[in-house]
A = this chain, B = another copy of it.
Amino acid sequence: MPAKPQFDEKNSALLKESFRTSLPLPSLLDPGFEEALRHVLSASGSMVRPRMVLRLSAAYDLDLESAHNVAIALEYFHTASLIFDDLPCMDNALQRRGVPCVHIEFDESTAILTALALINRAYALIWRAIAVCPRNVQPHVMTYIEKRLGVDGLLNGQSLDLRYSTLPHTRETTERIALGKTVSLIRLTLVVPAMLGGAPAREIQLLERVAVCWGLAYQAIDDLKDVLQSATETGKTSARDDLLDRPNIASAIGICAAVERLERLLHIGDLTLRRLLVRRPALSFLSKLRSDLEAELRQVTDVACEMAEEAFTREPS
Contact = CB atoms under 8 A, between A and B. Distances in A.
Interface string A104-121: 000111101100110111
Contacts of A316: none
Contacts of A107: 89
Contacts of A156: 26, 28-30, 33
Interface residue tally on A, bucketed by range? 35 or more
Given A131-B139, A139-B131, A33 B151 contact: yes
Which 7 A-B pairs rank lowest in CB-CB distance, beginning with the nearest?
A89-B108, A33-B159, A124-B146, A30-B159, A120-B150, A89-B109, A123-B123
A150 B33 CA distance: 12
Q: Is the interface of A mostly helix, strand, loop or mixed?
A: helix
A160 interface: yes
A231 interface: no
Nearest to A81: B116
Nearest to A108: B89
A135 B87 CA distance: 40
A185 to B, nearest CB: 14
A151 B112 contact: no
A25 interface: yes
Interface in A49-65: none
A150 B89 contact: no
A214 interface: no
A112 to B, nearest CB: 6
Contacts of A253: none
Contacts of A131: 130, 135, 138-139, 142
